[in-house]
Amino acid sequence: SRSSDSPNRIYPAQYTPPSVGMLWSLMAQFQTWFGNAPFLPIGIQLLPITAVSERRDAFDWVKDVYHPFDESCSPNPMCEEQGWSILGYCLLAEVGHADLAFQKALKVPHDVFDSAGGDGHSMTNTLWYISTRPKVDTPLDLTPPKPKPDTADNGVPDAVHPVKPAPLKHVTDCGLNATCTWEVLDANAGGFKCRDRIDWIMNHMSKTEAEACHQVAGIEYRASCGGCDPLASTTTTDSADTTTTSDDSSGKNTTAPIAVEFPNSKCPPCSTDVCNKNKCPLGGTWFLCTDGAATDGCSPAPWIVTDATTTVCDTCCKLTSHCGDSN
Protein backbone atom coordinates (compact mmCIF):
# COMPACT_ATOMS: atom_id res chain seq x y z
CA SER A 1 0.00 0.00 0.00
CA ARG A 2 1.27 3.49 -0.75
CA SER A 3 1.56 6.18 1.95
CA SER A 4 -1.67 7.38 3.55
CA ASP A 5 -1.61 10.78 1.82
CA SER A 6 -0.39 9.56 -1.57
CA PRO A 7 -2.51 10.65 -4.55
CA ASN A 8 -1.73 7.27 -6.12
CA ARG A 9 -3.10 5.00 -3.43
CA ILE A 10 -3.35 1.40 -4.56
CA TYR A 11 -6.26 0.48 -2.29
CA PRO A 12 -9.44 2.42 -1.41
CA ALA A 13 -9.38 4.91 1.44
CA GLN A 14 -11.52 2.51 3.49
CA TYR A 15 -8.44 0.30 3.83
CA THR A 16 -6.45 2.25 6.43
CA PRO A 17 -3.46 -0.01 7.36
CA PRO A 18 -0.10 0.95 5.80
CA SER A 19 0.47 -2.43 4.15
CA VAL A 20 -1.31 -5.60 3.06
CA GLY A 21 -0.34 -8.91 4.61
CA MET A 22 -2.72 -11.19 2.71
CA LEU A 23 -4.19 -10.26 -0.67
CA TRP A 24 -7.13 -12.29 -1.99
CA SER A 25 -8.93 -11.88 -5.29
CA LEU A 26 -11.62 -9.73 -3.64
CA MET A 27 -10.12 -8.94 -0.26
CA ALA A 28 -7.09 -7.41 1.49
CA GLN A 29 -6.14 -8.17 5.11
CA PHE A 30 -3.65 -6.62 7.53
CA GLN A 31 -2.44 -9.95 8.93
CA THR A 32 -0.42 -13.02 7.99
CA TRP A 33 -1.04 -16.76 8.13
CA PHE A 34 1.22 -16.91 11.19
CA GLY A 35 -0.04 -13.94 13.20
CA ASN A 36 -1.64 -10.50 13.12
CA ALA A 37 0.72 -8.35 15.22
CA PRO A 38 1.40 -5.24 13.07
CA PHE A 39 5.13 -5.94 12.88
CA LEU A 40 4.38 -9.15 10.94
CA PRO A 41 2.40 -7.83 7.92
CA ILE A 42 4.66 -4.78 7.80
CA GLY A 43 7.81 -6.84 8.24
CA ILE A 44 7.12 -9.21 5.37
CA GLN A 45 6.99 -6.19 3.05
CA LEU A 46 10.54 -5.26 4.09
CA LEU A 47 12.18 -8.57 3.23
CA PRO A 48 14.87 -8.96 2.10
CA ILE A 49 17.20 -6.16 3.19
CA THR A 50 19.43 -5.55 0.17
CA ALA A 51 20.78 -2.58 -1.79
CA VAL A 52 17.58 -2.37 -3.82
CA SER A 53 15.55 -1.82 -0.63
CA GLU A 54 16.47 1.86 -0.94
CA ARG A 55 14.42 2.09 -4.13
CA ARG A 56 11.60 -0.03 -2.73
CA ASP A 57 11.03 1.89 0.52
CA ALA A 58 9.62 5.32 -0.33
CA PHE A 59 10.35 7.76 2.49
CA ASP A 60 6.69 8.76 3.00
CA TRP A 61 5.69 5.10 3.30
CA VAL A 62 8.53 4.35 5.72
CA LYS A 63 7.35 7.22 7.93
CA ASP A 64 3.85 5.73 7.91
CA VAL A 65 4.94 2.25 8.95
CA TYR A 66 7.71 2.99 11.47
CA HIS A 67 5.55 3.78 14.51
CA PRO A 68 3.02 0.92 14.02
CA PHE A 69 5.95 -1.48 13.59
CA ASP A 70 7.89 -0.21 16.60
CA GLU A 71 4.87 0.00 18.93
CA SER A 72 3.96 -3.64 18.29
CA CYS A 73 7.55 -4.91 18.26
CA SER A 74 9.13 -3.16 21.27
CA PRO A 75 6.94 -4.73 24.01
CA ASN A 76 6.97 -8.17 22.39
CA PRO A 77 10.07 -10.31 23.20
CA MET A 78 9.28 -12.59 20.27
CA CYS A 79 9.88 -9.71 17.86
CA GLU A 80 13.58 -9.78 18.67
CA GLU A 81 13.89 -13.52 19.30
CA GLN A 82 12.51 -14.32 15.84
CA GLY A 83 14.49 -11.65 13.98
CA TRP A 84 11.77 -9.11 13.19
CA SER A 85 13.38 -6.29 15.19
CA ILE A 86 16.24 -6.25 12.65
CA LEU A 87 13.79 -4.84 10.11
CA GLY A 88 12.69 -2.20 12.61
CA TYR A 89 16.25 -0.97 13.04
CA CYS A 90 16.60 -0.70 9.27
CA LEU A 91 13.41 1.39 9.22
CA LEU A 92 14.83 3.54 12.02
CA ALA A 93 17.89 4.27 9.89
CA GLU A 94 15.74 5.07 6.87
CA VAL A 95 13.74 7.72 8.77
CA GLY A 96 16.92 9.58 9.75
CA HIS A 97 18.25 7.91 12.91
CA ALA A 98 21.07 5.74 11.58
CA ASP A 99 23.35 6.20 14.62
CA LEU A 100 20.64 5.06 17.04
CA ALA A 101 19.71 2.16 14.76
CA PHE A 102 23.37 1.09 14.57
CA GLN A 103 23.67 0.95 18.36
CA LYS A 104 20.43 -1.00 18.70
CA ALA A 105 21.46 -3.49 16.03
CA LEU A 106 24.75 -4.19 17.81
CA LYS A 107 22.75 -5.45 20.81
CA VAL A 108 20.83 -8.08 18.84
CA PRO A 109 21.82 -11.54 20.21
CA HIS A 110 23.83 -13.56 17.69
CA ASP A 111 21.49 -16.56 17.91
CA VAL A 112 18.68 -14.40 16.51
CA PHE A 113 20.34 -14.73 13.11
CA ASP A 114 19.72 -18.48 13.28
CA SER A 115 16.01 -18.15 14.13
CA ALA A 116 13.12 -18.85 11.77
CA GLY A 117 12.58 -15.15 11.07
CA GLY A 118 16.17 -13.96 11.28
CA ASP A 119 18.20 -16.50 9.35
CA GLY A 120 17.89 -14.51 6.13
CA HIS A 121 19.81 -11.65 7.71
CA SER A 122 23.32 -11.28 9.05
CA MET A 123 24.86 -8.80 11.47
CA THR A 124 27.26 -7.65 8.77
CA ASN A 125 24.50 -6.98 6.23
CA THR A 126 22.35 -5.23 8.84
CA LEU A 127 25.14 -2.87 9.93
CA TRP A 128 26.11 -2.22 6.30
CA TYR A 129 22.55 -1.28 5.36
CA ILE A 130 22.06 0.98 8.39
CA SER A 131 25.37 2.79 7.93
CA THR A 132 24.79 3.50 4.23
CA ARG A 133 21.36 5.13 4.49
CA PRO A 134 21.07 8.51 2.75
CA LYS A 135 21.00 11.56 5.01
CA VAL A 136 17.49 12.74 5.87
CA ASP A 137 16.93 16.50 6.06
CA THR A 138 14.06 16.20 8.54
CA PRO A 139 14.29 12.97 10.59
CA LEU A 140 11.06 11.45 11.82
CA ASP A 141 9.98 12.48 15.33
CA LEU A 142 10.34 9.29 17.37
CA THR A 143 7.72 10.36 19.91
CA PRO A 144 4.87 7.86 19.45
CA PRO A 145 1.73 9.53 18.08
CA LYS A 146 -1.19 9.77 20.47
CA PRO A 147 -3.61 6.86 20.00
CA LYS A 148 -7.06 7.51 18.68
CA PRO A 149 -9.80 7.71 21.34
CA ASP A 150 -11.22 4.29 20.48
CA THR A 151 -7.82 2.61 20.74
CA ALA A 152 -6.35 4.47 23.73
CA ASP A 153 -6.74 1.48 26.01
CA ASN A 154 -4.82 -0.98 23.87
CA GLY A 155 -3.26 -2.97 26.68
CA VAL A 156 0.32 -2.14 25.66
CA PRO A 157 2.40 -1.35 28.78
CA ASP A 158 4.00 2.07 29.08
CA ALA A 159 7.43 0.55 29.59
CA VAL A 160 9.17 -0.87 26.55
CA HIS A 161 11.58 -2.97 28.59
CA PRO A 162 9.84 -6.35 28.82
CA VAL A 163 10.72 -8.89 31.44
CA LYS A 164 13.00 -11.73 30.48
CA PRO A 165 11.01 -14.04 28.19
CA ALA A 166 10.03 -17.52 29.26
CA PRO A 167 12.12 -20.43 27.96
CA LEU A 168 11.30 -21.48 24.42
CA LYS A 169 8.88 -24.38 24.04
CA HIS A 170 9.61 -27.43 21.90
CA VAL A 171 7.28 -30.00 20.36
CA THR A 172 7.34 -33.55 21.70
CA ASP A 173 4.99 -35.77 19.69
CA CYS A 174 1.77 -33.72 19.31
CA GLY A 175 0.07 -36.33 21.50
CA LEU A 176 0.51 -38.92 18.73
CA ASN A 177 3.46 -41.09 19.72
CA ALA A 178 2.50 -43.72 17.14
CA THR A 179 2.43 -41.46 14.08
CA CYS A 180 4.26 -38.26 15.03
CA THR A 181 7.69 -39.86 15.01
CA TRP A 182 11.11 -38.26 14.91
CA GLU A 183 11.22 -39.08 11.21
CA VAL A 184 8.02 -37.13 10.57
CA LEU A 185 9.08 -34.23 12.77
CA ASP A 186 12.37 -34.01 10.87
CA ALA A 187 10.66 -34.10 7.46
CA ASN A 188 11.16 -31.17 5.10
CA ALA A 189 8.28 -28.68 5.15
CA GLY A 190 8.99 -25.90 2.72
CA GLY A 191 12.65 -25.57 3.61
CA PHE A 192 12.27 -26.11 7.35
CA LYS A 193 11.68 -29.21 9.44
CA CYS A 194 8.14 -29.88 10.64
CA ARG A 195 9.35 -29.60 14.24
CA ASP A 196 10.93 -26.18 13.60
CA ARG A 197 7.70 -24.81 12.18
CA ILE A 198 5.69 -26.20 15.10
CA ASP A 199 8.17 -24.78 17.62
CA TRP A 200 8.02 -21.40 15.91
CA ILE A 201 4.24 -21.23 16.08
CA MET A 202 4.18 -22.30 19.75
CA ASN A 203 6.66 -19.62 20.75
CA HIS A 204 5.78 -16.87 18.32
CA MET A 205 1.99 -17.14 18.43
CA SER A 206 1.64 -18.50 21.99
CA LYS A 207 -0.26 -21.54 20.75
CA THR A 208 -0.42 -24.83 22.58
CA GLU A 209 1.46 -27.80 21.16
CA ALA A 210 -1.78 -29.32 19.87
CA GLU A 211 -2.81 -26.08 18.17
CA ALA A 212 0.59 -25.60 16.55
CA CYS A 213 0.71 -29.21 15.41
CA HIS A 214 -2.69 -28.90 13.74
CA GLN A 215 -1.75 -25.68 11.95
CA VAL A 216 1.46 -27.14 10.51
CA ALA A 217 0.48 -30.80 10.01
CA GLY A 218 -3.23 -30.38 9.35
CA ILE A 219 -3.43 -27.13 7.38
CA GLU A 220 -0.11 -25.99 5.93
CA TYR A 221 2.04 -29.10 5.30
CA ARG A 222 -0.21 -32.16 5.35
CA ALA A 223 1.88 -34.13 2.87
CA SER A 224 5.10 -34.08 4.87
CA CYS A 225 3.92 -33.44 8.45
CA GLY A 226 0.47 -35.08 8.41
CA GLY A 227 1.37 -37.74 10.97
CA CYS A 228 1.48 -35.01 13.61
CA ASP A 229 -2.03 -33.59 13.10
CA PRO A 230 -4.06 -34.12 16.32
CA LEU A 231 -7.34 -33.44 14.50
CA ALA A 232 -6.87 -36.20 11.96
CA SER A 233 -8.79 -39.43 12.58
CA THR A 234 -6.49 -42.41 12.92
CA THR A 235 -6.94 -46.16 12.85
CA THR A 236 -5.13 -48.84 14.75
CA THR A 237 -4.69 -52.59 14.59
CA ASP A 238 -4.50 -52.95 18.34
CA SER A 239 -7.41 -55.18 19.37
CA ALA A 240 -7.99 -53.09 22.45
CA ASP A 241 -8.85 -50.13 20.25
CA THR A 242 -11.13 -51.84 17.73
CA THR A 243 -14.88 -52.14 17.65
CA THR A 244 -17.19 -54.42 15.68
CA THR A 245 -19.91 -52.70 13.71
CA SER A 246 -23.14 -54.38 12.65
CA ASP A 247 -23.47 -52.15 9.57
CA ASP A 248 -20.79 -54.05 7.66
CA SER A 249 -22.73 -56.37 5.33
CA SER A 250 -19.70 -58.62 4.88
CA GLY A 251 -19.89 -59.65 8.51
CA LYS A 252 -16.22 -58.81 9.05
CA ASN A 253 -15.01 -56.81 11.99
CA THR A 254 -14.40 -53.19 11.07
CA THR A 255 -11.93 -50.96 12.82
CA ALA A 256 -13.64 -47.72 13.76
CA PRO A 257 -11.61 -44.50 13.46
CA ILE A 258 -10.40 -43.24 16.80
CA ALA A 259 -10.93 -39.52 17.23
CA VAL A 260 -7.91 -37.88 18.79
CA GLU A 261 -8.76 -36.04 21.99
CA PHE A 262 -8.36 -32.35 21.21
CA PRO A 263 -9.80 -28.97 22.28
CA ASN A 264 -13.17 -28.11 20.77
CA SER A 265 -12.64 -26.68 17.30
CA LYS A 266 -16.23 -26.52 16.08
CA CYS A 267 -17.38 -23.27 14.57
CA PRO A 268 -21.19 -22.95 14.28
CA PRO A 269 -22.75 -21.48 11.11
CA CYS A 270 -22.35 -17.71 10.88
CA SER A 271 -25.38 -15.50 11.38
CA THR A 272 -26.96 -13.81 8.37
CA ASP A 273 -25.58 -10.47 9.55
CA VAL A 274 -22.02 -11.82 9.63
CA CYS A 275 -22.48 -13.58 6.28
CA ASN A 276 -23.52 -10.37 4.56
CA LYS A 277 -20.35 -8.54 5.66
CA ASN A 278 -18.19 -10.56 3.23
CA LYS A 279 -15.29 -11.00 5.63
CA CYS A 280 -13.78 -13.94 3.72
CA PRO A 281 -13.18 -14.63 0.00
CA LEU A 282 -16.18 -15.75 -2.01
CA GLY A 283 -16.63 -19.43 -2.76
CA GLY A 284 -15.78 -22.50 -0.76
CA THR A 285 -16.02 -22.94 2.99
CA TRP A 286 -14.21 -20.65 5.41
CA PHE A 287 -14.01 -20.34 9.17
CA LEU A 288 -14.18 -16.77 10.41
CA CYS A 289 -12.72 -15.74 13.76
CA THR A 290 -15.30 -13.46 15.40
CA ASP A 291 -13.52 -12.66 18.66
CA GLY A 292 -9.93 -12.79 19.86
CA ALA A 293 -6.48 -11.77 18.62
CA ALA A 294 -7.26 -13.06 15.12
CA THR A 295 -10.66 -11.34 14.81
CA ASP A 296 -11.81 -11.20 11.15
CA GLY A 297 -9.18 -13.78 10.22
CA CYS A 298 -10.20 -16.42 7.67
CA SER A 299 -9.00 -20.00 7.90
CA PRO A 300 -9.65 -22.99 5.62
CA ALA A 301 -9.83 -25.18 8.74
CA PRO A 302 -11.78 -24.60 11.96
CA TRP A 303 -10.15 -22.31 14.48
CA ILE A 304 -9.16 -24.18 17.62
CA VAL A 305 -11.18 -22.63 20.43
CA THR A 306 -10.37 -23.48 24.05
CA ASP A 307 -10.78 -21.91 27.46
CA ALA A 308 -7.07 -21.10 27.60
CA THR A 309 -6.02 -17.46 27.75
CA THR A 310 -3.43 -17.87 24.99
CA THR A 311 -5.66 -18.96 22.14
CA VAL A 312 -5.52 -16.88 18.99
CA CYS A 313 -9.27 -17.09 18.40
CA ASP A 314 -11.89 -17.15 21.17
CA THR A 315 -15.01 -17.67 19.05
CA CYS A 316 -15.56 -18.51 15.40
CA CYS A 317 -18.25 -19.35 12.87
CA LYS A 318 -18.51 -21.21 9.56
CA LEU A 319 -19.03 -19.44 6.23
CA THR A 320 -20.23 -21.34 3.16
CA SER A 321 -21.07 -20.37 -0.42
CA HIS A 322 -24.76 -20.23 0.55
CA CYS A 323 -24.17 -18.43 3.82
CA GLY A 324 -26.88 -15.87 4.51
CA ASP A 325 -29.29 -17.14 1.84
CA SER A 326 -32.87 -16.59 2.88
CA ASN A 327 -34.03 -19.87 1.34
- The residue extents of the domains of the chain are 22-151, 168-262, 263-327
Q: What is the largest CA-CA distance in the chain?
A: 85
**Is pLDDT above 90 for 104?**
yes
pLDDT tens, residue by residue, 299-315: 777 776 655 554 567 78
**Is pLDDT above 90 for 105?**
yes
| Res 4: pLDDT | 53
Q: What backbone phi and psi angles, to 5 degrees, belong to 68? A: -60, -40
Q: How far apart are CA 207 and CA 313, in angstroms?
A: 10
pTM over 0.85: no
Q: How far apart are CA 107 and CA 109, in angstroms?
A: 6
How far from 26 is each of 15, 280, 304, CA to CA, in Å? 13, 9, 26
**Is pLDDT above 80 for 275?**
yes
pLDDT tens, residue by residue, 261-274: 334 456 788 888 88
| Res 298: pLDDT | 80
| Selection from 158-167, 191-200, 251-260 with the highest mean pLDDT | 191-200
| Res 186: pLDDT | 92
Task: Count other C-beta atoms under 10 Å from residue 151's C-beta.
Answer: 7
